[in-house]
Amino acid sequence: MKLFANSETQPLKSVIVGYPDNFLQVEPEIINETMRNFYFGKNRPNRATIQNQIGNLIDVLNEYDVDVYQPRPLRDVPDQLMTRDIGITIGSTLVITTMAAKSRQMEWRGIAYLFSEMDSPNILFTPEEFVLEGGDVIVDKGYIFVGVGQRSTLEGVAYMQQMFPDFEVVAVPIKGLTEGEDVLHLDCSFVPVGDQYALIYPGGLREIPVQIRETYDLIEVTREEQQTLGTNVLSINPEVVISRRRSQRINNELRQRGLTVEEVAFTDPPKTGGSFRCCTLPLLRE
């Protein structure tokens, strides 16, 4: 198994997709506002629906000849859906992150069986002294953008600078709950698409770094679209992106720019706090 990624949009060849079959077989730890909003009402996420929708995502990936792996199930873990948070592929290194929530700190063990299958693997475990979650890290066009907000810290930014000197590491300040926004990770407000574009919710960032403004043609999303994770798409290649079926305005904006949008019904996984990008951990992009 090859391991390499230095882009958010180059052709995706292999990926780890979240494992749905053990969803909420143990009591969940409520770790974000989205969970608080959905886990106690009649619209709470349903295991059968999640299994079906993750299956539909995998079907689309298979149509584009992407090799799909999934975590092995772990006991005493509420869910294993959001694989992006627990790892980041940067160049030929797989970075295993440090999670803030106790219930997620051992989640990486579900993908550990793949380590021995990797071609000359370089596995890097981030220190436990700070938080660095994969949803806050975007690697693209020579940059490592690191969101600093509800989860990842400035110490995580410094660590990325130390470990990956060939990239320019850019801290992106994210607005917190006290500022009237609920942006859990950077990829809830900013995700590159295509060759030159990026979806962005400006209201979720304290400022937009010049490296983002000068590198991308920005497609702004609304606060309502951000709250339904409209930014959290997955690029299969520079021409094709997977997006939620309900994100019609965003999808039309992408099509107007020449992109093919694979629409997938994805109602229940986002109720845990993440959508397509969060549910996928790319291992190889060429």
Domains of the chain plus CATH, in order, are: 12-285 (3.75.10.10)
Mean residue pLDDT of the chain comes to: 96
Q: Provide the 3-class DSSP secondary structure of residue 1.
A: coil
Confidence of residue 230 (pLDDT cuts 50, 70, 90): very high
- Let me know: does 280 contact 83? Beta carbons within 8 Å: yes
Confidence of residue 102 (pLDDT cuts 50, 70, 90): very high
Confidence of residue 205 (pLDDT cuts 50, 70, 90): very high
In the predicted model, what is the mean pLDDT of residues 178-203? 96
Residue 121 pLDDT > 80: no
**How does strand 93-96 pair with strand 87-90?**
antiparallel
Write out the DSSP string of 220-250. Answer: E--HHHHHTTTT--EEEETTEEEEETT-HHH
What's the token pair of residue 271?
A: 């109720």
- Per-residue pLDDT reduced to its tens digit, 239-281: 999 999 999 999 999 999 999 999 999 999 999 999 999 999 9
Distances (CA, A) of 133 to 70, 114, 137, 156, 185: 19, 20, 7, 9, 8
Strand order from edge to edge, sheet including 197-200 = 190-193, 197-200, 217-220
